[in-house]
Structure 1
C-alpha cells in the first residue's frame, strides 16, 4: 500500500510497497479518508517532541477519518463499512495520572500518528476504544479534524464561562478560530479575534461574526485590562505578555499556543496578585471527542471554510518543511469521501 514515511529528521518519502497492517484482536483496521496536518506534525518532522516522541521510521498523521475495513476478533462495536474518526491518544489506564482522572498526563501515552503509524497511509490500525462513529450529516472531510476540535474543547472546558464575559483570542490559526466558535456556542457575550492578516480577519467577521483587531497595524486596539477571558494561541513571548496585560481584574488567561520548548516570557507577578488572574495551560484532549462530534453535528462548529489547502501525500513535506505558506488548515486526501 502507499504510505508517507518519515524516515528521519526532516526526511519523508512516499513508499508504494509499505506493508498493510493486520488488526490485533482489540483493534480496528481503517481505510483512511482524510488526514489533517497539525503544527505538531511540523514539530515532529523537525525533531521536536509532540505528545510523545516520534521515532523514525514512522507514518505520521494523528487527525484522521476513514471507513472501517476490518475488525479484530474481540471487537464488537464496529463493522466493515462504518464511518469513523479516531482519537489518537491511547492511555494506559494504570499509571498515577490515569488513576487520578488526568489521563492527558499518562506516563505511558501511546498515540496514533506519533508513536505508532497514523493516517498518512492508505490503511492504519487503532484500538477500538479510541475509534468513534460519526453521524450521517458529518462528512469524512469534516470528521478528520475532530481531534483538533477536541483539543480546543478541552481548553474551553478548563475555563469558567458566564454570559456576561467578553473574550479575546490572540492568533487566528485553525485552533484559535475553533475556540472562538466554541466560545460563541457556549454563550459568552462577545468574541474578539486578534491577528495580523486583514483578509483573514475580514472573513472571520463576515463568516462567524467575530469582532476583529489587526494586531499588526493597530495593536493599541487591544486595550489593557479589558477582557474577562484571554486565549493566547500563538506561542510567542510578545503575545503571551500581551495576553496577561489584556486580562481584566478577575480574568482568566489561557496559554494555548505552543512555543519553543526553551522560550520564556516576562510577567509582572504583582499584576497577577492585583488582578487575581487565573493563568491556565492546556494539553491534548482527554475525553472531549463526543462533545466535539456533537459540535459538528449541530453545526455550532464549522471547520470546512477554514480548510485552505487539500493535498495529496506527495505534497505533505512541502507543508511541514515550511515551503507551503498561507495555510489556515491543510488536509490530506487519501481515500476521500469514497474511502
Structure 2
C-alpha cells in the first residue's frame, strides 16, 4: 500500500511522490496526519544549509504534526484509534547524560522526525508512542500542529532564559517563531513586548500578535533604541533572537539593560562576531536554546485551549500537499501548514 508524501533528497530535489505507507513497529503509533507545518528548518535543508546529524535521504519532510491515531504497535496502550493527537518531533536516546539531567531536548543522539526518520508531510506517519500527546477538543489541527515547534521552540528558550514577568522583552524576527514568541512572552507575564524586524510590512501582524512596539532596521537605530529604552524604563531585560542576523543582534545588545540576557534559537549558516568587551562591561549574558521538551508542548496545548496563546494568528496559509513544494521555495508570513483530507 502506498501514500502521497513530500520527499526530498539532494539528487532528485523536492517532490510529491508515492511512497510505501508505514506500519507501526513495536512501541510505535501510526498517526493519520491531518496537518503538518512547514518550518524554516525544512527550507534550510532544501537549500543545503545543514541538517541534523543522522539525516538520511530520501527523507519525508515535516515535523510539526497533528492528526489522529490510526493504529497501535505491539506493546502500546493508553490510546485508541481515532483520538486527536499531536506529535513531539524530537526523539531522545533516553540514556545519555543530558537525558539523565532532564534535558532531553539537548540529547546529542536524538532523532528528529522529518530528518533522521520519516516525517509528517504525508498521509500517515509512524512515531514512538512516547512522542504522541493528546490534543484537547476544539483546537484546529493546523493550529495544533504549529504548537509542537513554532511555539515550543521559543517557549523553551524563554523559560530556559528565566523570563521575569516584570521585565520587558524584545523579540527579533517576525517569522513563525517570532510571532509565536510575542504571544508566549505575554502569556508568561512580560508587561511589554517589542519586536524588531527587517520587514516594514510585518508591523501589522506583530501588533495583532500582541506586540507593544514595532521597529525595523530601516528606522534610525539610535531613535529606535531610545524608544525601546523608554518603554522598558532603562533597558530590556531579555531579548529573544529568532533570525540570526548580525545587525539585529547588535541592536539587541544596545537596548538590553545592564545584566540583561540575549537568548537565541537561530542557526545562521555563518558564524557571527561577538563583542565580548561590551558583554563584560555591561554584564550581559548570551545563551543558546534548541528544540523543546514534551512538557513544553503539553503546556502550550493548555495555553491554546484556554486562549492564552492564539495559534490562528501565526498559522498562515492552509495548503494541499501538492502546494507544499512551492510554499517551501517561496516563504510567506507566519507558518504555512499542509492540511490533509480527513474523510478517509
TM-score of the two chains, using structure 1 as the length reference: 0.92
Alignment-derived partner of residue 302 in structure 1 = 310
Change (3 A) 1:173 1:10: farther
Change (3 A) 1:161 1:111: closer
Aligned with 1:2: secondary structure?
strand
Distance 1:94 1:242 in 2: 40
| Aligned match for 1:236, one of 242, 245, 253 | 245
Alignment-derived partner of residue 85 in structure 1 = 86
Distance 2:167 2:266 in 1: 22
Alignment-derived partner of residue 6 in structure 1 = 8
| Aligned match for 1:278, one of 280, 285, 302 | 285
- Structure 1 position 309, deviation (Å): 1.9
Distance 1:103 1:206 in 2: 34
Distance 1:5 1:284 in 2: 23
Q: Counterparts of 1:11-160 in structure 2 under 5 Å?
A: 11-16=13-18, 18-148=19-149, 149-160=151-162
Distance 1:65 1:78 in 2: 15
- Structure 1 position 196, deviation (Å): 3.3
Contact 1:9 1:47 in 2 (8 A): no
Once the two structures are superposed, residues 64-99 of structure 1 have per-residue CA deviations (whole angstroms, 9 ceiling, x without a partner) of: 000111111211111100001000111111122222
- Structure 1 position 209, deviation (Å): 4.8
Contact 2:9 2:58 in 1 (8 A): yes
**RMSD of Structure 2 on Structure 1 (CA):** 1.9
Q: Counterparts of 1:181-220 in structure 2 under 5 Å?
A: 181-206=183-208, 208-220=210-222
Distance 1:51 1:87 in 2: 16
Contact 1:227 1:247 in 2 (8 A): yes
- Structure 1 position 163, deviation (Å): 3.3
Change (3 A) 1:318 1:9: farther
- Structure 1 position 114, deviation (Å): 1.1
Contact 2:71 2:81 in 1 (8 A): yes
Contact 2:179 2:209 in 1 (8 A): no
Once the two structures are superposed, residues 285-319 of structure 1 have per-residue CA deviations (whole angstroms, 9 ceiling, x without a partner) of: 12312111112112111121222222222222223
Unaligned runs of 5+ in 1: none
Aligned with 1:145: secondary structure?
helix
- Structure 1 position 37, deviation (Å): 0.5
Distance 2:207 2:183 in 1: 12
Distance 1:305 1:169 in 2: 17
Distance 2:288 2:176 in 1: 18
Unaligned runs of 5+ in 2: none
Contact 2:62 2:113 in 1 (8 A): yes
Aligned with 1:222: secondary structure?
helix
